[in-house]
Amino acid sequence: MKTLTISLSAQQIARLHEAVASGAYASNSEVMRDALRLWEQQQELRALEISRLKRAYDEGMASGEGRVVDAGSLLAELKAERRG
């Protein structure tokens, strides 16, 4: 493994030391590796969500011309669809 120097706030250092002292982690490095794994998972989920939103946007754009509606008529239309 390669060594990397990072800067942390006093509060972050205290939490890191608490995690090791409590036995939740064996070392500072283990805490940092776990934090990076969580960050990587978050980035993967973010990429999936962006991809999903892009697909939804593309589907919406491909669905045809938009139309202007007011809230009252849209609500009435939705209620009619639900009943029918």
Q: Which residues of 25-34 are buried (b: 16+ CB within 10 A; e: fewer)?
A: beeeeebeee
- pLDDT over 80 at 84, yes or no: no
- Please check whether residue 20 is in contact with residue 31, taking contact to mean a CB–CB distance below 8 angstroms: yes
Look at 6-20, 49-63, 64-78 and tell me which has the smallest mean pLDDT: 64-78
- SS3 letters for the chain? CCCCCCCCCHHHHHHHHHHHHCCCCCCHHHHHHHHHHHHHHHHHHHHHHHHHHHHHHHHHHHCCCCCCCCHHHHHHHHHHHHHC
pLDDT band at 66; cut points 50, 70, 90? confident
pLDDT at res. 81 = 93
pLDDT band at 17; cut points 50, 70, 90? very high
* pTM score of the predicted model: 0.67
Average pLDDT of the chain, as a whole number: 95
